[in-house]
Amino acid sequence: MELLRLKGVTKEFGSRLILSNVNMVVEEGDIFGIIGKSGSGKSTLLNLIVGFSEPDEGQVLFYSPTGQCLNLKKHHMKIRKKIGFTPQHLSFYPKLTVKENVLHFGRSYGIRDNILVDNAKNILDFMGLLEYKNFLAEELSGGMQRRLDLACSLIHKPKLLVLDEPITDLDPGLRHQILELIKEVNKQGVTVIIASHDLDNMELICNKIAIVNEGKFYYEGKIDEIRKPFLHQNSLISLKTGKYHDLFLEYAKRLPIKKIIDCRTHILLESDNFNQTVNAITSFIDRHGLTLNQMEISQPSLKTIFETITKDGGEILKP
């Protein structure tokens, strides 16, 4: 079921075009990744989604559980209570304690104190912050501060959590911890939108992505669907060659491929023309009556796809 839809959204700052005719659909339960380089328009897009700014053209639409369509511009206050937002830079108050910060953000959403106290205890426990509730926020480690930011964004039990670069400047161990927390939040029924340039981790956590470059969306959808047009590019083919290893190796050297790695029991071929390479190998097998123990094909990574789409200023459009 749809939760959010952007229709023809355009945003300018002065004479500079930041976002151009953006269309995007987020469904309930998604972990939706928005990936792009710095300055590509990711943060501006998030600000439009959470209502911090308005599009110059187009609409930001939210859907209620009953299917009612609400325009963010007209129903701003009602919709804002359903959204949690964690900006790129930490947004809590460093001189307040952990508990005081969470209570402050809860009151800003109009939560009554008798409900807020229970909410605060539950969210601090969920985030692993309960034992630090009386610590000043500035005394926490970097990873714990990120947890506090998430807790402040979730205190009002939103349906949508929007995160801007939530793992920036964290070491790999802390990144993993925050990503695991985000996945747990999602399992609790919260839809998540993440903007990031960390492609490896986005590929691990997101079920859908949109690639934005210079204010334009180039792809939007499930990661497997986005891969399909690129399966012929930058593929890694593994051949388990068995007793015909030397024959396959000599033949591979005559193919127009990028790299050959001889692993003794198998051969790795890096090809930028998947179909041509596979067809050549299967024809070679048929012509000579050979057998191949196994052929495995690795899909192109999200990083490879992103670099292909955005090279030369983003001139490569949908095939």
Q: Which pLDDT belongs to residue 84?
A: 96
Exposed / middle / buried, residue 62 (Cβ in 10 Å: 0-12, 13-18, 19+):
buried
Would the CA dihedral through 150, 153, 157, 161 be positive or negative?
negative
State the pLDDT at residue 66.
Answer: 84
Residue 315 is predicted with a pLDDT of 40
Q: Kindly state whether residue 207 falls inside one of the protein's structural domains.
A: yes
pLDDT score for 234? 63
Which of these, 222, 165, 219, 159, lies nearest to 192 by C-alpha position? 159
Domain holding 63: CATH number? 3.40.50.300
Contact status, residue 33 vs residue 165, Cβ threshold 8 Å: no
Q: Name the nearest CA neighbour of 105 among 159, 43, 45, 148.
A: 148
What's the pLDDT at 314?
A: 44
The count of C-alpha atoms lying within 13 angstroms of the C-alpha of 102, restricted to the half-sphere facing its C-beta, is 32
Q: CB under 8 Å to 273, separation ≥6 — which residues? A: 232, 233, 256, 257
Domain count, the chain: 3
Which pTM does this prediction carry?
Answer: 0.80
Q: What is the pLDDT of residue 231?
A: 64
What are the mean pLDDT values of the chain's consecutive 10-residue runs (319 residues total)?
95 92 95 90 94 95 90 90 93 97 96 94 96 97 95 97 92 92 96 93 92 85 78 72 87 84 83 79 88 78 78 43
d(CA 265, CA 186): 43
pLDDT of residue 254: 87
Any idea what the CATH number is for the domain that residue 249 is in? Answer: 3.30.70.980
Contacts 24+ apart (CB under 8 A), 90-96: 90/145, 90/146, 90/149, 91/149, 91/152, 92/137, 92/145, 92/148, 92/149, 92/152, 93/137, 94/136, 94/137, 94/138, 95/136, 95/137, 95/138, 96/136, 96/137
- Domain co-membership, 75 together with 11: yes
pLDDT tens by residue, 70-81: 999 999 888 989
**Alpha carbon distance 219, 211 (integer Å):** 5
Please tell me whether residues 133 and 97 are part of one structural domain.
yes
pLDDT at 316: 35
Coil, strand, or helix at residue 16? Answer: strand
Same domain, 122 and 261: no
**Domain around 284:** 232-298
77 and 6 part of one domain: yes
50 in a domain, yes or no?
Answer: yes
Residues 46 and 168 in one domain: yes
**101 lies in the same domain as 41:** no
**Angle, vertex CA 60, rays to CA 202 and CA 19, nearest 5:** 65
**Residue pair 32/206 in contact by the 8 Å Cβ criterion:** yes
From residue 12, give the alpha-carbon distance in Å to each of 5, 16, 54, 75, 162: 20, 6, 10, 23, 22
Long-range contacts of 278-283 (CB under 8 A, 24+ apart): 278/237, 280/255, 281/237, 281/239, 281/248, 281/251
Claim to verify: residue 71 and residue 142 sit in the same structural domain: no
